[in-house]
Structure 1
Amino acid sequence: MKTGQPRTHHTLGILLLIAAVSCFGAVDGFSKILIGSQSFGQIMLARYAPALAVLLLATGPRNLQGLFATKRPGLQIIRGLTPVFVGGLMVFAVRYLPLAEATVILFAGPFIVVALSGWMLGEHVDASSWVGVAIGFLAVLFVARPGLDALSVYTIFPALAAVFYALLQLLSRQLGAAGESPGTTLAWTLLVGTAVSLPVALMDWRAIDLSNALVFLALGASFGWGQHFLARAFSLAPANVLSPFSYFQILSAAIFGVLVFHNVPDVWTLIGIAMILGAGLYVFGRRSRIRA
């Protein structure tokens, strides 16, 4: 039983990460819907405040101290700031760029995770992880290729977001390996994000109609669940195992783009999606055989 437990944990971690990045793809899509009529600060606040309120109500006043109890407050604050930078940069990215292109540029992040996980986390990076991430990164180039000439200077936003996205994953794993509860990490993430975004939102508050209010609620719910799944995933599996599966966010963004913005993927996007799925299945299959 003990022999099979790590494999079970890794499998659950992979599934949770896929759920997390699917939520994040929806978050960027909802942000793109709102950015034309609502302020940047409001969109950022909607990611954090509703989820924080639900978490606090569900926890109850008697258990609040335990919820935020941590041995790594500094690391929790730094980790909490990384999704603020990722989210803020992606809000600007989807304002000026198509959702799919912005998302694929963001996905230089998993490549950075594998490159740094040995140095930052002391984890062994085997050949299958390198192959899987390399295929995924090549897929990113396939998807972005048709629009690269037209994306102009605004590509800096998702490119910088990729760096913070990699740090988010690495710090999530570092906290998970240190024994920090996923619930505690989620609580600190939502608290830090709310504290940073609230004053920015108040400086440029705009009226919210009913349709936008519903989108705000969907955005907050997607972000909250995504952060919960992400913290759980990195408490169960190493960063270099999970990183190839981060590419599944491109699927989420592509589906959202079709359903909401009617952006049908072209042949390059379809090739890239197939490569992304293949990379994830390759790494998963290789690790299953190694542990069998």
Structure 2
Amino acid sequence: MELRHLRAFLAIAEEGSITRAAARLHTGQPALSRTLRQLETHLGVRLVDRSTHHLDLTAAGRTFRDRAATALAAADAAFDPRSMAAARPLRLGHPWAALGSWTVPLLRRWDQEHPEVPLELRRIDDRTAGLTRGKVDAALLRGRVAPLPGMVTELLLEEERVAVVPEGSDLADRATLTLADLATWPIALNTVAGTTTLDLWPVGARPAATREVANTDEWLTVIAAGRAVGITTSATPGLHSQPALAYRPLTDAPPVPLMLAWPRDVPAHPAIPALIGLVRDVVAGR
């Protein structure tokens, strides 16, 4: 027995005619009649009463109709790739700081508006937050990211840069800081996913020492320990506030673009359009 036997029987039951059912299924009447006989032979019961001018279901046929409809609906759902994609979480990657102060509002609104699809926030120490490796379905990216093959990138906003210094240092006593103020300290550089490089400083005025780290946790730790200072964006304080760190506006450094990226042609998850719309709304303050 195959699914076509169920489809054939349900079409006959709904149309009340083998001729109309055959037309609906784009098959010949003799072929449809053979399919019905095969099903009846397999079940060992007569499903259709052919003794009247109008085709009627037998008692067994009426019972089997409900079972067949349930089974066919379950099979269609099982074979639908959209149902499988919608059943799994939507993975939103980021290398650090996610959506900044909008992260919690985004997650709360998603849970309210799309409770059927879990939204998972995944920090991946990678310039593309795992997007080009298929580890996430969409990603929040910072900095001037090179064109990503097969991906769409949309600028969400420009984030101001801030200095991150050890609490208790002389730099923490100032209301604002400049690049020259930081140049007397070693600079912590996240070489994997960070947006800070020595190119921010003019040639000849660059910091004499750097501390290279591989992820955000190491970057925060080396600054909190008083071994270096760092530069990040206005998104970081909202997610990484701790007593050992002081964040101060950096007055002479260019802003950092924050972008949302997702696959161009075949989105990895059917809920991506809903995510794009919600991210836009949240960033716009709606």
TM range (shorter): under 0.3
User: Would you tell me which structure has more helix in proportion to its own residues?
Assistant: 1
When normalised by structure 1's length, the TM-score is 0.23
Rg comparison, structure with higher value? 2
